[in-house]
Amino acid sequence: LNCSAFDSFRFMIKGGLAGAAVYVAYDQGLLGSGTEGAEALKKAQETLPPAIQEWTNYLGWEIPTPPKIDFSISNYWNKGVHKVMSALSVAPTRACEYTVEGWKYVKDLVK
């Protein structure tokens, strides 16, 4: 297994994990409209603290209380989704550019 094959394999694993994360986010309604995202976030906020508290009690850990958030997360959520999707959309192009630059660098080293 050569280095480029290992890099390709690693890129495929990362791509698969990113795809799975996007699928789960879409399945839970996080990538829908702002209202759907706010509802999914509210559902997560209601579900996660009791589950975390149950695990911490079971493990004997003590977690500090989370700080209160004074801004609307739903207003910033869509901006974050757009940034992530933008980064994922240019990832193949960037990977190709970086691969070309890497080969050029290796060729210059060999000379």
Tell me the per-residue pLDDT of 6-21, one tens digit each, with 9 for 90 and over: 677 777 888 888 888 7
All residues at 6 or more sequence positions from 62 whose CB lies less than 8 Å from its CB, including other chains = 56
pTM of the full predicted structure? 0.33
Q: What does the alpha-carbon distance between residue 97 and residue 89 come to, in Å, rounded to a whole number?
A: 14
Apex 79 CA angle, 77 and 83, nearest 5: 120
Using CA atoms, how far apart are residues 9 and 7, in angstroms rounded to an integer?
5
Closest CA to 28 of 72, 81, 93, 71: 81
In a domain, 75, yes or no: yes
Give the pLDDT confidence score for residue 67 in this predicted structure.
Answer: 66
Number of alpha helices (DSSP H) and beta strands (DSSP E) in the chain = 3, 0
Looking at residue 1, its pLDDT comes to 45
The pLDDT score that the predictor gives to residue 71 is: 64
Q: What is the mean pLDDT of each run of 10 residues along the chain (111 residues)?
A: 65 81 75 72 73 75 68 72 84 84 87 74
- Residue 13 maps to a domain: no
Number of domains within the chain: 1
Residue 4 lies inside a defined structural domain of this protein: no
